[in-house]
Homo-oligomer: A and B are copies of this chain.
Amino acid sequence: MTKQAKVAILGATGFTGEKLVEILLSHPNVEIVYLSSRTEAPIPYSKLFPRFKGKTTLNCEPLDVKKAIGLADILFLSLPHTVSMDFVPGVLKAGKRVVDLSADYRLNASLYEKYYKMTHKDVDNLKKAAYGSPELFKTKIEKALLVANPGCYPTSVILALYPLLKEGILENKIIVDSKSAITGAGRKAVIDYHYSNISNNIWAYKPFVHQHVPEMVEILKAATTVAMDLIFTPQVIGVEAGIYSTIYVSFKKAVSEETVSAVYKKYYKNCPFVRLMPALPKLKDVVGTNFCDIGFAIDEKKKNAVIASAIDNLIKGAAGQAVQNMNLMLGFSETTGLL
C-alpha cells in the first residue's frame, strides 16, 4: 500500500518528539520523511535512541525548515514555546499543514503575553488556528491548516469538565488537583529531575499560576455562562508516564449518577478515545494508549462529585492527540495508528 502522506517532525529528540516518531513509524498511512533536532550534523536517529535500531534508518538533521517544507505534506512542530511562531507563517505560506505542539497557538495574544512573557509574533495565524481537542472541535480540525495541540494538563481537565459545563449543571467553583509524570517538563538535565529526587516523591508546584490554567479556562469558558472559578494545582509524582486529575465540582441541584453518565455519553458517544469508566479510573489503564479514562462519584446528598480523569501525558496529552488531529486533517480514520 502506498503511504498517503509525508510527515516531518521538527524537534524529534524531546520526549514528545520521540513519542511522535514511535507512533508515526507504525502509522499505516504516513511516511516520516524528515526529523530535526539541535544536532550539529545529521546523525542516525537510532544512534540517538538505540531502541529504534531496526525500526528506522532515518537521520536526525540540524533544523532546516525549508527542507522540511520541501519534503513533507504536514509538519509536527515539537519545539520550545516562542520558537514555533517563527516557523509557522512560512510553512502555511508554502501550503503545508502544521500541528504545533508548543503553546504558541493555544492562547489569545494577550493571555499569551501575560503567561509566556513575550509579544505574540503571528497573530493572524493565531486567530485561524484550531484548538486540537478532537472530541470537542472535530469539524474545525478537519478543515484546519494549523492545529494548536492542547497542553497535557488541559487535555485531562477539559475532557472531564466540558460536557458538564456545557449542560449548565455545575456551580462555578471547581478544584483541579492534577498529578503528572516529570516527562511533562521536557527532557532536561536538571538536578530536580534526577532519579533520586523523583522516585518515592510527590510535590505540588506553581499553585494558582501555572501557564496551563488560562488554556483550560479559555476553552471551558466557551462552554458555559457561569463565571468559572477554577483552582488548579499541578503535582509531580514518581511515575514514568501519565496525568491523573482529580476534580471537585458541585451541582446546581441534586443529580443522580445516571444523569451524569448520560451527559458524558451524549458528548462522547462517537469519541473512540474517551472511555467513561464504571468507577474512578486507574492511571495505569491508559499508560501507553491514546485513551482518556473518566470516572466519577457523587456524594450522598447528590450535590458534590469527584471526577477523575487519566491520560498518558505524552500520548493523549501530546503526541497521540497530535496524530489524532493529523488523522482528521488528512481525512484518515480518527483512530488510525492509535489503537
Contact = CB atoms under 8 A, between A and B. Distances in A.
Contacts of A283: 200-203
Interface stretch (A157-165, A255-263, A298-306): A298-306
A191 interface: yes
Copies in the complex: 4
A281 interface: yes
B195 A198 contact: yes
B53 A202 contact: no
Contacts of A189: 189-191, 194
Contacts of A34: none
Interface string A280-299: 11111111110101000101
Given A204-B306, A231-B306, A237-B237, 7 more contacts: A189-B190, A194-B194, A195-B240, A200-B287, A203-B308, A207-B306, A235-B246
30 contacts: A15-B196, A50-B293, A51-B284, A175-B175, A175-B177, A179-B237, A183-B196, A187-B191, A189-B190, A189-B194, A194-B194, A195-B195, A195-B199, A195-B240, A199-B199, A199-B240, A200-B284, A201-B283, A201-B284, A203-B282, A203-B308, A204-B308, A205-B280, A207-B299, A208-B299, A208-B304, A231-B299, A231-B304, A231-B306, A237-B238
